[in-house]
Structure 1
Amino acid sequence: MMASFLPFIQDILPMFMPSSISVTRAKDILPPPPPQPPLPTEEGGEALSGVRVLSRDAVINKTDKMCASVLIVKPKSSSTVRHNGEQDAIIYAASGTGVLLSSPNDEGEEEPPKRYELAQGDFAFVPCWTEHQIVNESADTDLLWVFTRSGPQPVEVNLMDWGGAEAKAPVNR
């Protein structure tokens, strides 16, 4: 008998015991990156400076249903190929224009990844376990995308390549 009331109690409890609002300030999400020495490039091109992809937690562990993080991809850079495990994700392109690549198929055929161009204000839905990569082809503009995922904190499984093994390198957070 009590088990039948449990869903009802979970629905009405917030009406009697409201939670407080939580705010995360931009300055706390995106602290200035530490200075790093330039990285050499191939073919004598212009040197790249420091970290090229930054992932920062924005709202985590506030609810078991969702979380948010921010991804910044510097010009002429890309994230690793990754998936979000059991989490679905919604991407909001806050600034810049970039490319969302996704695994071409599950049959193992040799095809290039599917390309989805996202400009400022665009949204994309990435289902759980879907391999994807974010690419900034711009020569001079950072890409800033907001990820909202199911679950209390973001899951990012970085891969060695499309359909590849999990990468063991640390992720910049």
Structure 2
Amino acid sequence: MVDAQDWREHGVRVVRAGQLDSNTPQTPGMSRAAAIDAARVGAERLWAGTVTIHPDAKTGAHHHGALESVIYVLRGRARMRWGEQLEFVAEAGAGDFIFVPPYVPHQEINASSDEPLDCVLVRSGSEAVVVNLDIEPVERPDAVYWVDPLHREPTGDE
């Protein structure tokens, strides 16, 4: 059993907003900052941080190796492109979650011309893995809609 002193030194950790570490792998077009990782808090199975993309900016194509990623949109409008040629596209707004499976080539785009896109990132490993790719973006990406019993594909009237 762990005694109270161990919990004090190895228990809950708070990383303040001003303590985020921007010395983490970057992708052109965005600014990442780590909050939770192995080095900062001793995390063993996850990485968490923030990302900001300036108005009208887009990131370079990249993936995160074997890691799963979750992106939570705090503010702004995210346009995600993914696929071998970034041929698929979907958008998410404030309050939406985005899931990116392992090895999926993707690109984040700020769909707003006047508001920054601010997101929280969480990944399934404790180290920051970023593999930047040299992919030519497509002219006309295919829209992909979340279609299930609760969500139907837009008809164009919406």
* TM-score > 0.5 by shorter chain: yes
**Cα shift readout 1:36-84 (whole Å, capped 9, x = no counterpart):** xxxxxxxxxxxxxxx9521111111122210102110000101110100
Residue 162 of structure 1, CA deviation: 5.8
- AA at the equivalent of 1:26: A
What corresponds to 1:79 in structure 2? Answer: 59
**Counterpart code for 1:22:** R
Contact 1:69 / 1:154 at 8 angstroms: preserved in 2? no
Deviations 1:64-120 (A, max 9, x none): 21010211000010111010001111111111111111116xxxxxx7621111100
Match of 2:134? 160
Give the 3-state SS of the residue equivalent to 2:18 in structure 1.
helix
Residue number in structure 1 paired with 2:154: none
Separation (CA, whole Å) in 2 of partners of 1:139 and 1:28: 29
Aligned with residue 105 of structure 2, among 112, 122, 131: 131
Q: 2:116 aligns with which of 114, 138, 142?
A: 142
2:18 counterpart letter in structure 1: K
| Structure 1 stretches of 4+ moved >2 Å | 13-19, 28-31
Counterpart amino acid of 2:99?
Answer: F
Amino acid at match of 2:93: A
Residue 67 of structure 1 corresponds to which residue in structure 2? 47
Match of 1:92 in 2: 72
> Do 1:131 and 1:162's aligned partners in 2 also have CA atoms closer than 8 Å?
no
- State the TM-score, normalized to the length of structure 2: 0.70
1:93 and 1:78 map into 2 onto residues whose CA distance is 15
From 110, 114, 117, give the equivalent of 2:88.
Answer: 114
1:109-139 CA distances to partner (integer Å, 9 max, x unpaired)?
A: xx76211111001001111101111001211
Distance 1:82 1:52, change over 3 A: closer
Identity of aligned residues (%): 25
Give the corresponding residue for 1:56.
33
Output the TM-score relative to the length of structure 1: 0.64
The 3-state SS of whatever aligns with 1:77 is coil
Alpha-carbon distance in structure 2 between the residues aligned to 1:134 and 1:15: 45
- Secondary structure class of the residue paired with 2:99: strand
Tell me how far apart the structure 2 counterparts of residues 69 and 149 of structure 1 sit (CA, whole Å): 9
Higher Cα radius of gyration: 1
Counterpart CA distance in 2 for 1:114 and 1:15 is: 52
How many positions carry a matched residue from both structures?
A: 126
The secondary structure found in structure 1 opposite 2:55 is: coil
Unaligned runs of 5+ in 1: 1-12, 32-50, 105-110, 164-173
